[in-house]
Amino acid sequence: MTDLNTLGLAEARDKLRAKEITSVDLTQACLDAAEASGALNAFVHHTPDIALAQAKAADARLATGDAHDMCGLPLGIKDLFCTKGVASQAGSAILEGFKPEYESTITQNLFDAGAVMLGKLNMDEFAMGSSNETSVYGNAVSPWRRGNDDTALTPGGSSGGSAAAVAADLCLAATGTDTGGSIRQPAAFTGTVGIKPTYGRCSRWGVVAFASSLDQAGPMTKSVRDAAIMLEAMAGHDAKDSTSAELAVPNFEAMLTGDIRGKKIGIPKEYHMDGMPEDIEALWAQGREMLKAAGAEIVDISLPHTKYALPAYYVIAPAEASSNLARYDGVRYGHRANLAAGDGITEMYEKTRAEGFGHEVQRRVMVGTYVLSAGFYDAYYNRARRVRALIKRDFEQVFAAGIDAILTPATPSAAFGLGEMDNEDPVKMYLNDVFTVTVNLAGLPGISVPTGVDHQGLPLGLQLIGRPWEEGDLLNTAYALETAAGFVAKPGKWW
Ligand SMILES: NC(=O)C[C@H](N)C(=O)O
């Protein structure tokens, strides 16, 4: 079979088990596709030797008939994950040359299951951005185009390389991370599926920290079934991350019955935004109809504190980032500035950090430091924390009232052109996260499902938000939506 790289995880797993294909052939097909995709700038480090060695080992394991679902499946890994002996730069110049001496728990879990690593994927610097344009490697490019217009579009961010690679079939699936929308927004922009699990479901150990109370990793895949399979392999308790939950990981795939009869789906009125494009409004209405036709009950709900979520996020996330990023001091990791005669340790810190961090990261460190400073702590940071508690309570109340899942748009627009956002006004970029940050602030699971295309043929996603720890139920509702939507569009190959 040719084009093995176009398979999804479930299909490839079944073919591997049936001995119709080998992991080495599957991996080689992905390596070839990745190699030929320079124009997308999705992979920033290729690891073919590791990939082929892992694929050979996987084939041997498959031959014994005792292999995990992920065994032999080639993946791309976001550059935010520490991978032992392999460059892990978090998209930043400050981590130039950094090769971790340890493996992140999530990549270790995937490798233990037999998965194959093709290489590292592009991302916004330290996961700060929504377009992949803050990356030190230059932006990743979406494989999608607006009709015949050849304007280069963003794959979204910060997991932009992951989204571009999955959408362009350079890998079967990829890891992503989501602090305020970084899995779900790029998934929506590229016609792929992205789930941010409940905070604590996946270990953060070895994932470069941005905002520790919000960061959570998850899979980015070609289907909901693939997301279920990969999430199960990534998740689980880890003694090395004190925020990781001591909960058993269910067999998520077994929960995909597609039966959502009697489920109550909430439609929050606060997510109707002024100036929302008609395409998005229409998609949301279609999503409601699809779930209703599948037997769910559609209920209007209110999440009254929604409008404060974005400002609260853009106080809390930079505050935590300013603390987390203090460790990049030129002593312990990566880049160190050349010093002039007479420079002391202060100059070393200042020069290293000025050279090593890009503009957006510097902006967030400054905002974070400001909102945590003695005179402003109460006015900004504490107020944002109180808002966060109210947002969490809004969700708790609707779930307590019997709502099973909440349906919203994933993004306020389709993918935009690279360079089209006004860099002078960061808030315009931040508005990309308006429908996704609430989920991180409340620690809930959220998934973006490709549901339709806009008037220019670009993919659009709807977001489903679930109860904490009920990813299985959420995935099943997403599966019902995916089945009803029947999204099959693919980008034409131009790269
Ligand atoms: N990391 C994320 O979830 C991305 C979000 N757009 C941010 O810039 O903070």
Closest CA to 487 of 457, 455, 445: 457
Tell me the pLDDT of the chain averaged across its residues. Answer: 97
0.80 exceeded by pTM: yes
Q: Phi, psi at residue 194, to the nearest 5°?
A: -140, 130
Lookup: tokens for 206: 């070895």
Q: Determine whether the shortest distance from the Cβ of 303 to ligand 1 is under 6 A.
A: no
Which tens digits make up the pLDDT trace of 50-60?
999 999 999 99
* Ligand 1 centre distance from Cα of residue 176 (Å): 12
The ipTM estimated for the assembled molecules is 0.97
CB atoms within 10 A of CB 307: 12
> Residue 424: its pLDDT value, please?
76
Give the ligand 1 atom nearest the CA of 178. Answer: 3
What six digits make up the tokens of 271? Answer: 């997510």
207 CB under 6 A from ligand 1?
A: no
How far from the centroid of its chain's Cα atoms is residue 62's Cα? 29
> Could you tell which of 80, 122, 124 is best to mutate to test the pocket of ligand 1, judged by most ligand atoms within 8 Å of the CB?
124
Question: For residue range 422-475, what is the model confidence (pLDDT) as tens digits?
Answer: 777 899 899 999 999 999 999 999 999 999 999 999 999 999 999 999 999 999
Determine the distance separating the centroid of ligand 1 and the alpha carbon of 179, expressed in angstroms.
6
Residue 217 C-alpha from the chain's centroid: 7
Q: How far is CA 352 from CA 86, 93, 329, 345, in A?
A: 23, 10, 7, 10
User: What dotted CATH number matches 4-261+405-485?
Assistant: 3.90.1300.10
pLDDT block averages, 10 residues each, the chain of length 495: 90 97 98 98 98 98 95 98 98 96 98 98 98 98 94 98 98 98 98 98 98 98 98 98 97 98 98 92 98 98 98 98 96 92 96 97 98 95 98 98 98 96 85 96 98 97 98 98 97 96
Just list the catalytic residues.
78, 158, 182
Q: From the CA of 87, how far away is ligand 1's center (Å)?
A: 22
178 lines ligand 1 (CB under 6 A): yes
Determine if ligand 1 sits within 6 Å of the CB of residue 317: yes
Best mutation site among 92, 126, 134, 179 for ligand 1 pocket (most ligand atoms within 8 Å of CB)? 179
H or E segment to which residue 204 belongs = none
C-alpha 51/C-alpha 102 separation (Å) is 18
Nearest atom within ligand 1 for CA of residue 430 = 6
Judge if the upstream peptide bond of residue 158 is cis by omega within 30 degrees of 0: yes
7 — phi, psi (to 5°)?
Answer: -70, 155
C-alpha 3/C-alpha 309 separation (Å) is: 43
**Domain range summary for the chain, segments of one domain joined by +:** 4-261+405-485
To test the ligand 1 pocket, which listed residue (128, 213, 364) has its Cβ within 8 A of the most ligand atoms?
128
Is there an atom of ligand 1 within 6 Å of 429 CB?
Answer: no
Cβ of 187 closer than 6 Å to ligand 1, yes or no, is no
User: In terms of DSSP bridges, do strands 193-196 and 216-221 run parallel, antiparallel, or are they unpaired?
Assistant: antiparallel
Cα–Cα distance measured from residue 83 to residue 371, given in angstroms and rounded to the nearest whole number:
33
Neighbouring residues of 115: CB distance < 8 A, sequence distance ≥ 6 = 54, 70, 71, 72, 73, 74, 75, 233
450 in contact with ligand 1, CB cutoff 6 A: no
